[in-house]
């Protein structure tokens, strides 16, 4: 088990800066996720750690050992590729044994270890199958076993679930998490799926356009996004223009004006000035809908445009001042609110974030 | 209001016409591809005593024939070795390495494909011949050798079985065919290699593999489908190559025996020996084809991977490695170009004896040939273009029916239509004699142009089938369904929607068929027994040996005209198909 540390790592492809001054440290035994839209540089970062690319600037460390000039075949990382990369001309056993043979392990020990690895991922008795005879989920597990069997210093997973169907994805996701905890192996996980990232990670680094925007636990990332992009990318967020009334930089607190409401908002990380137009971000579950006559003041007046039944919750689309806001209420909260009806909206100021508007 | 009843009737009639068309095309393919093969097999086994193996025992009791079998196999085998030895590293370099002038080399190494080997052999006379440039340099200038090597006509006895059975390798044929056919192995290997998902190799690297170990355990096994396909094509080609053996005067060669025995058919007495050889060739081709098909499932799997970025692995060699790449490619390009250089020099040389280059140049041969070869050239172009048109019609139709699953047994139709890629030309020639001798309109003796055109079109059908198949896969079926949904019949839909989208592919496939019909040797030599209505390949061979003084020069001049026509056609195809051009050379 190792710590993985990236210091100011930059990678360019021609004119394009794929990875831009990236810094992070993955702790021993941690599951660390690189999350971002496609083309954000997350896979490039992973491949830099695996050694398939050399950084143009910066350093990569495993513990205190500088890895920059170590070729990929000497890094002892176990990588699981997005498409599993199982060799079609070898059976399951040969696929998994490949790395062990390269380590000059005596055959009896190879057999023992491969068997153990296949058992670990629940593929006992499938050693003689060839990859094309396996289901997607099984292929995925062969790839995992092949990466784990060499006892790598760090496990690298590149979108390992993207080729599985939705139900299987949930199951394998949990299996990977349990296995990772059981083995206590340092793991770097790449995904574009924010829900997957939130559910599986110890910590997440959100990336966009080659930069890391925020690193934090899933809770931190979801509740306290430090950046407009992070707030937009993780979950569903409403953005409403508002005006800054005052800003207290030491407390990171701002008072903003929205319609006839004044809200005192905590955790404002962007520096904003009084009188400035800013963006208020609020998640659908943090807006409450009231009948006009029952509403506590102050409130925003809106008109229901669409009511969607989603099972667990009801989603409302409410028109407020030319903006369509998404609002979610639990099903039990179901009242006779109809499309076209005028309603009052209230917002919990503690659940609101404020960002500088010119960033988007 | 539209009369729905009448519309329904019309639709049904059109659907019926369509089915009739399927049956008609199937009948044509069976008559001209399957039946000739079957008739050869039948005639080999049926004797006066009924069904027996007596023809075979007769054949194998003759040591001359036995040695011809050995020679032909050995030649094909060694040609495979030669082409693989060049093609595999070449594919690796061209796919994986990036270096200046790569595009130029990628064109140069394909130059051998635009000439039939036997024409190339003539071009090589003055380069690799006993008094050719290479021998002159080696013996007279560099003094490396005491006496010249007979590169083209030479043979070597590899070993001997018992007192009579000599295993003779005519290495001249091996050399000529290797020079001409290595692009087949190269193209197939390169296609396989380019299709390998880079993550398959990266995974091996990730687990600790590198260098030759990585190549041996992962890269090479994954490019084997292409290697096998290329090797099989080379094997079948060499095994049935009549022209080269004739040019280098090596007659203990199966296709040559069939060729000479045909004169017996003319006398109304077909030789059972030819049919036995035919059966041997059919079995060999089919076994070879079967072996290569075993690797297709692997090929599919390698290419099946969805998702993931494909980052092509491109290496930039430097220093010694780069120098070695250049030396290898320059040498190879020289070898690849040598038949063409030789042919051009011969065509314009005035006097060329015991010198590296001709002593003088003249337009005499070209002038002479331009006039005398004109009718033959016209014949060639006429037969080949009619054949190409037939191929476009049948090929497009088959690809349409197969990709859209419109007829029962469509896969079988596809199999039959692409079969000729693996069936030697000799088989077509022989089978057509066996089946159509004395048949009105099809008798090779009396209706040579008709049967020759048919043979060309059947031989080259796979080109149009392949290319249109590839084209069809790119046309979304929904485009057609939308048309049918709006009330068009299948035939109208094909005419108005599919055909316009497919037309460039069909055209390219047609030109490929035309080019290869132009350079077709085996069927030409077997089906054309007199100068009357003969095509230019036949005339070229005739001229080369009819005039002992200027024959080679004149033949070269004809060959050069040929190369120019063929090269022009290929450039057109390249412009149309671009990078997809490779598909037509693959199994």
Give the tens place of pLDDT for each residue, A316-354.
999 998 889 999 988 766 567 888 889 999 998 888 888
Between positions 30 and 59 of A, the ones with CB within 8 A of B are 43, 50, 52
Are B223 and B185 a contacting pair, CB within 8 Å?
no
Query: Which residues neighbour B481 within 8 Å (Cβ) at sequence distance 6 or greater?
Result: none
- Residues B459/B517, Cβ–Cβ less than 8 Å: yes
CB contact under 8 A, A73 and B207: yes
The β-bridge partners of A277 are A243
pLDDT of the residue at B495? 83
CA distance B579 to B395: 21
Instruction: Please report residues of B whose CB lies closer than 8 A to that of A71.
Output: 205, 210
Return the structure tokens found at B263.
């004169």
B202 lies within 8 A of chain A by CB: yes
The helix or strand, by DSSP H or E, that contains position B263, with its residue range, turns out to be helix B254-266
Whole-angstrom distance, CA of residue B257 vs CA of residue B245: 10
Q: Which helix (H) or strand (E) holds A243?
A: strand A238-248
pLDDT at B313 (0 to 100): 64
Residue in A72, A88, A89 closest to B205 by CB:
A72
B313 to chain A nearest CA, in Å?
10
The architecture (CATH level 2) of A4-231 comes to 3-Layer(aba) Sandwich (3.40)
Bridge pairing between strands A57-62 and A211-216: unpaired
* Domain spans of chain A, in order of start: 4-231, 236-359
Distance CA B83, CA B178 (A): 5
How far are the Cα atoms of B34, B278, B465 from residue B452, in angstroms, in the given order? 17, 19, 20
> B 437-466 residues with CB below 8 A of A?
none
CB-CB neighbors (< 8 A) of A48 in chain B: none
Interface test with A, best of B203, B217, B222 (most A CBs within 10 A): B203
pLDDT at B451: 93
Q: Which residues of chain B have pLDDT under 70?
A: 1-4, 7, 11, 264-270, 295-313, 578-587
C-alpha to C-alpha distance for B447 and B527, rounded to whole angstroms: 10
Q: Which residues in A lie closer than 8 A to residue B302 (C-beta atoms)?
A: 88
**With 0-12 CB in 10 A as exposed, 13-18 as middle and 19+ as buried, what is B344?**
middle
pLDDT of residue B580: 59
CB interface of B with A, residues 28-57, below 8 Å = none
Whether the Cβ atoms of residue B294 and residue B223 lie closer than 8 Å to each other: no
**Residues of chain A where predicted confidence (pLDDT) is lower than 70:** 332-335, 358-360
C-alpha B247/C-alpha B525 separation (Å) is 13
In three-state secondary structure terms, B208 is coil
- CB within 8 Å: A52 and B202: yes
Chain B residues near residue A78 by CB distance under 8 angstroms = 206-207
Is the CB of residue B197 less than 8 Å from the CB of residue B305? yes
Q: In angstroms, how far is CA A197 from the centroid of its own chain? A: 3
| Residue of B192, B197, B200, B206 to mutate when probing chain A, most A C-beta within 10 A | B206
Q: What is the per-residue burial (b if ≥16 Cβ within 10 Å, else e) of B359-388?
A: eeeeeebbebbeeebeebbebbbebbbbbb
**Which CB contacts under 8 angstroms, 24+ apart, belong to B247-251?**
B247/B118, B247/B121, B247/B122, B247/B541, B247/B544, B248/B121, B248/B152, B248/B153, B248/B170, B248/B172, B248/B173, B248/B176, B249/B153, B250/B71, B250/B153, B250/B155, B250/B170, B250/B172, B250/B173
Q: Which domains does chain B have, with CATH numbers?
A: 14-48+364-587 (1.10.3720.10), 57-351 (1.10.3720.10)
Three-state secondary structure call for residue B438: coil
Least Cα separation, residue B482 to chain A (angstroms): 30
Whether A133 and chain B come into contact, CB under 8 Å, resolves to no
CB contact under 8 A, B202 and A102: no
What whole-number distance in Å separates Cα of residue B467 and Cα of residue B505?
Answer: 6
Instruction: State both tokens at A175.
Output: 């299996």
pLDDT value, residue B299:
46
B205 touches chain A (CB under 8 A): yes
Q: Report pLDDT for A113.
A: 94
The residue among A38, A80, A95, A102 with the most chain B CBs within 10 A of its CB, best to mutate, is A102
The interface predicted TM-score (ipTM) is: 0.76
Chain B contact present for A163, CB below 8 A: yes
CATH class entry, domain A236-359: mainly beta
Structure tokens of A293?
Answer: 């006559």
Closest-CA distance, B197 to chain A, in angstroms, reads: 8
Are A88 and B197 a contacting pair at CB < 8 A? Answer: no
DSSP assignment of A91-160 equals -HHHHHHHHHHHTT--HHHHHHHHHHHHHHTT-TT-TT--GGGS-HHHHHHHHHHHHHTT--SEEEEEST
The DSSP code for B315 is: B
Task: Decide if B306 and A83 are in contact by the 8 Å CB cutoff.
Answer: yes
Tell me the residue length of chain A: 360
Does B1 lie at the interface with A, CB-CB under 8 angstroms?
A: no
Closest B-chain CA to A162: B307
Angle of helix B461-474 relative to helix B448-459, nearest 10 degrees, comes to 40
What is the pLDDT, as a whole number, of residue B308? 41
């Amino acid at each position: 088990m190792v710590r993985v540390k990236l210091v100011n790592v930059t990678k360019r492809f021609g004119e394009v800066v794929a990875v831009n001054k990236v810094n992070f440290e993955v702790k021993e035994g941690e599951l660390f996720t690189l999350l971002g839209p496609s083309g954000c540089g997350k896979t490039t970062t992973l491949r830099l750690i695996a050694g398939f690319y050399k950084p143009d600037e910066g350093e990569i460390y495993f513990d205190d050992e500088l890895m920059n000039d170590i070729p990929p075949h000497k890094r002892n990382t176990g990588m699981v590729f997005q498409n599993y990369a199982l060799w079609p001309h070898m059976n399951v056993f040969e696929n998994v044994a490949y790395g062990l043979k390269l380590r000059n392990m005596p055959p009896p020990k190879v057999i023992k270890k491969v068997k153990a690895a296949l058992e670990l991922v629940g593929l006992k008795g499938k050693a003689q199958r060839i990859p094309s005879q396996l289901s997607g989920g099984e292929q995925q597990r062969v790839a995992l076993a092949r990466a784990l069997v060499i006892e790598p210093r760090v496990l690298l997973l590149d979108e390992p679930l993207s080729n599985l169907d939705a139900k299987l994805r949930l199951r394998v996701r949990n299996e990977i998490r349990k296995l990772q905890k059981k083995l206590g192996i340092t793991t770097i996980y790449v995904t574009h799926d924010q829900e997957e990232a939130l559910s599986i990670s110890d910590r997440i680094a959100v990336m966009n356009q080659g930069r890391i925007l925020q690193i934090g636990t899933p809770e931190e990332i979801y509740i306290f996004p430090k950046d407009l992009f992070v707030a937009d990318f993780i979950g569903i967020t409403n953005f409403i223009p508002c005006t800054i009334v005052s800003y207290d930089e030491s407390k990171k607190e701002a008072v903003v004006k929205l319609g006839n409401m004044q809200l005192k908002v905590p955790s404002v990380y962007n520096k904003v000035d009084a009188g400035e137009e800013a963006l208020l971000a609020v998640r659908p579950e943090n807006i409450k809908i009231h009948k006009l006559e029952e509403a506590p003041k102050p409130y925003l007046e809106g008109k229901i445009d669409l009511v969607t039944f989603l099972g667990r919750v009801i989603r409302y689309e409410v028109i407020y001042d030319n903006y369509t806001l998404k609002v979610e209420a639990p099903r039990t909260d179901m009242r006779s609110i109809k499309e076209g009806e005028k309603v009052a909206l209230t917002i919990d100021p503690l659940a609101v974030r404020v960002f500088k508007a010119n960033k988007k | 209001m539209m009369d729905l009843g009448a519309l329904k009737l019309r639709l049904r009639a059109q659907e019926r016409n369509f089915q009739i068309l399927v049956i008609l095309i199937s009948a044509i393919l069976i008559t001209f591809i399957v039946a000739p093969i079957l008739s050869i097999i039948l005639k080999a086994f049926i004797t006066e005593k009924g069904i027996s193996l007596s023809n075979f025992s007769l054949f194998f009791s003759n040591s001359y024939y036995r040695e011809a079998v050995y020679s032909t196999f050995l030649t094909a085998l060694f040609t495979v070795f030669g082409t693989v030895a060049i093609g595999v590293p070449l594919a690796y370099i061209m796919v994986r390495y990036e270096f200046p002038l790569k595009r130029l080399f990628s064109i140069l190494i394909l130059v051998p494909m635009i000439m039939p080997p036997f024409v190339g052999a003539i071009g090589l006379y003055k380069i690799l011949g006993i008094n050719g440039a290479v021998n002159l340099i080696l013996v007279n200038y560099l003094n490396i050798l005491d006496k010249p090597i007979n590169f083209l006509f030479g043979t070597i006895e590899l070993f001997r079985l018992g007192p009579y059975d000599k295993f003779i390798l005519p290495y001249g044929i091996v050399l000529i065919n290797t020079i001409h056919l290595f692009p087949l192995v190269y193209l197939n290997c390169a296609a396989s290699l380019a299709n390998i998902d880079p993550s398959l190799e990266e995974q091996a690297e990730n687990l600790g593999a590198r260098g030759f170990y990585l190549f041996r355990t992962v890269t090479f096994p994954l490019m084997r489908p292409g290697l096998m396909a290329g090797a099989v094509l080379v094997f079948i080609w060499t095994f049935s190559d009549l022209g080269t053996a004739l040019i280098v005067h090596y007659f203990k060669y199966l296709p040559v025996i069939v060729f000479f025995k045909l004169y017996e058919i003319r006398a109304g007495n077909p030789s059972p020996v030819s049919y036995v050889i035919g059966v041997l060739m059919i079995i060999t081709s089919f076994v070879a084809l079967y072996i290569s098909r075993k690797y297709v499932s692997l090929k599919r799997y390698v290419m099946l991977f969805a998702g993931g970025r494909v980052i092509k692995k491109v290496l930039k060699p430097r220093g010694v490695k780069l120098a070695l790449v250049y030396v290898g490619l320059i040498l190879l390009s020289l070898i690849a170009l040598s038949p063409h250089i030789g042919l051009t020099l011969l065509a314009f040389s005035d006097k060329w004896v015991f010198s590296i280059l001709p002593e003088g140049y003249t337009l005499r041969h070209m002038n002479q040939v331009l006039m005398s070869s004109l009718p033959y050239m016209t014949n060639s172009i006429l037969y080949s273009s009619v054949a190409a048109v037939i191929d476009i019609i049948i090929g497009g139709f088959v690809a349409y029916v197969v990709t859209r699953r419109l007829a029962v047994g469509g896969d079988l139709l596809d199999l039959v239509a692409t079969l000729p890629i693996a069936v030697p030309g000799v088989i077509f020639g022989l089978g057509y004699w066996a089946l159509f001798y004395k048949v009105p309109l099809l008798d090779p003796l009396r209706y040579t142009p008709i049967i020759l055109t048919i043979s060309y079109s059947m031989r080259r059908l796979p080109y149009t089938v392949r290319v249109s198949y590839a084209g069809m896969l790119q046309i979304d079926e929904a485009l057609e369904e939308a048309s049918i949904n709006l009330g068009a019949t299948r035939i109208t839909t094909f005419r108005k929607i599919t055909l316009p989208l497919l037309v460039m592919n069909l055209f390219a496939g047609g030109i490929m068929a035309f080019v290869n019909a132009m350079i077709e040797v085996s069927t030409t030599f077997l089906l054309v027994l007199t100068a009357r209505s003969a095509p230019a390949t036949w005339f070229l061979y005739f001229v080369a040996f009819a005039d002992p003084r200027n024959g080679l020069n004149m033949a070269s001049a004809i060959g050069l005209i040929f190369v120019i026509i063929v090269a022009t056609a290929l450039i057109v195809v390249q412009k149309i198909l671009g990078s997809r051009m490779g598909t037509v050379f693959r199994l």
